[in-house]
């Protein structure tokens, strides 16, 4: 076993503070939607790190890679359950690995629990959140990276990522009377 993998759980289970994934084997994303390739990359990531490739981890990764971009643990759990028996504990334990591998990212907290999004093979983007209907609109704003660079240089900071979020009322909700 590789030495850096001693106490793998110890290292991996620390609370995940929002962090842009530092993909390892996942460094060169395949064309979007190539789930098989993406899954292989995730397996390679596990092996590289000395983690075991289990059917649970594969099922979790595959479900995420095939499904909708935004979700929470419960949705993922229910979605997995229709296909294979799995416990929530395994999902919670897999999430840090998925984040570390660059498959997932935490996006925001709502109603007391975290929401995630699949990031592997997708462009970096920001979110517009409707505070009424909870819908999410995505957008890109390249200037954000420029700002990130300027500020971090100025402060001697080594950046690992940024997040920009706008909240308010979407067009549909403004139109409603109530």
Partner DNA sequence: ATCATTGCAAAAGCTTTGCATAAGA
Partner DNA sequence: TCTTATGCAAAGCTTTTGCAATGAT
**How wide is the angle at C-alpha 66 spanned by C-alphas 47 and 50, nearest 5°?**
10
Closest CA to 83 of 63, 66, 99, 68: 63
Q: Could you write out the DSSP letters of every residue in 103-146?
A: SEEEEEEETTEEEEEE-TTS---EEEEETTT--EEEE--THHHH
* Residue 52 makes contact with DNA by CB under 7 A: yes
Q: For residues 166 and 135, is the Cβ–Cβ distance under 8 A?
A: no
Distance of alpha carbon 86 from alpha carbon 41, whole angstroms: 22
- The residue within the footprint of DNA, chosen from 42, 45, 51, 120 (CB under 7 A), is 51
Which residues contact a copy of itself by CB under 8 A?
15, 17-19, 109-112, 128-131, 137, 139, 141, 143-144, 147-148, 150-152, 154-171, 174
* Residue 18 makes contact with DNA by CB under 7 A: no
Rank residues 12 and 26 by Cβ distance to DNA and give the closer one: 12
Neighbours of 112 (CB within 10 A): 5
* Residue 2 makes contact with DNA by CB under 7 A: no
Residue 148 CB, shortest distance to DNA, in Å, is: 26
Neighbours of 44 (CB within 10 A): 15
Residue 14 CB, shortest distance to DNA, in Å, is: 8
Q: By CB under 7 A, which span of 34-42, 79-87, 118-126, 131-139 interacts with DNA?
A: 79-87
Residue 137 binds which entry of a copy of itself, DNA, none, with Cβ cut-offs from 5 to 8 Å by kind? a copy of itself
Which positions lie near DNA, rule CB under 7 A? 1, 6, 8-9, 13, 15-16, 46-47, 51-57, 72-74, 85-90, 92-95, 111-114
């Amino acid at each position: 076993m590789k030495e850096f993998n001693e106490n793998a759980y110890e290292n991996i289970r620390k609370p995940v503070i929002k962090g842009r994934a530092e993909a390892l084997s996942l460094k060169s994303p395949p064309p979007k939607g190539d789930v098989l390739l993406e899954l292989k990359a995730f397996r390679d990531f596990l092996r590289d790190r000395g983690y075991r490739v289990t059917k649970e981890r594969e099922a979790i990764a595959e479900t995420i890679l095939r499904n909708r971009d935004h979700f929470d643990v419960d949705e993922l759990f229910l979605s997995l359950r229709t296909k294979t028996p799995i416990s929530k504990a395994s999902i919670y334990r897999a999430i840090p690995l998925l984040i570390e591998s660059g498959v997932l990212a935490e996006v925001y907290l709502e109603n007391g629990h975290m929401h995630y999004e699949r990031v592997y093979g997708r462009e970096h983007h920001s979110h517009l959140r409707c505070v009424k209907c909870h819908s999410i609109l995505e957008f890109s704003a390249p200037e954000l990276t420029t700002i990130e660079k300027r500020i971090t240089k100025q402060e001697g900071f080594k950046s690992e990522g940024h997040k920009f979020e706008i909240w308010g009322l979407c067009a549909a909700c403004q139109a409603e009377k109530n």
